[in-house]
Amino acid sequence: MIGIRDNIRGGALTETTLLVLLALYRPNHGYGVSQFVVRETGGRVKLGAGTLYGAIDNLSRKKWITPLKDEGYTRRKEYVITDLGRQMVENELSRLNEVIELAARTVKENENG
């Protein structure tokens, strides 16, 4: 079931959801996702363990990410984005672009007034 905060029918993804999905375009484990988020946001976003692992669990249940098979080499569980997860990111990029275009147009139209 899709939560109200991550609505397939046109609603926005939460920033946490989007960042975790982006971090998993390459296989990664929880700590690696956390480091990606800190690095790519310039330290603006730092995910607590509960938030991070809650998001990973939620995204896994939605089939937006999937765990990789455990090869037994490490105790860290790695995940990767699925095709459905990629579609959710593409939808969010389209939505964000529409919002940016609207904002830019509105600001430009009202600059002198």
For the chain, state the CA radius of gyration: 16
Measured CA to CA, the distance from residue 37 to residue 22 in angstroms comes to: 9
pLDDT reported for residue 76: 78
- Partners of residue 28 on adjacent β-strands: 79
Which amino acid belongs to residue 7?
N
Q: Distance between CA atoms of 6 and 27, rounded to whole angstroms?
A: 22
Please state the domain extents for the chain: 15-109
Asked if the model's pLDDT at residue 8 lies above 60, the reply is: no
The reported pTM is 0.83
Please check the confidence at residue 44 and state whether its pLDDT lies above 80.
yes
Q: Domain 15-109 class?
A: mainly alpha
**pLDDT band of 3, cuts 50, 70, 90:** very low
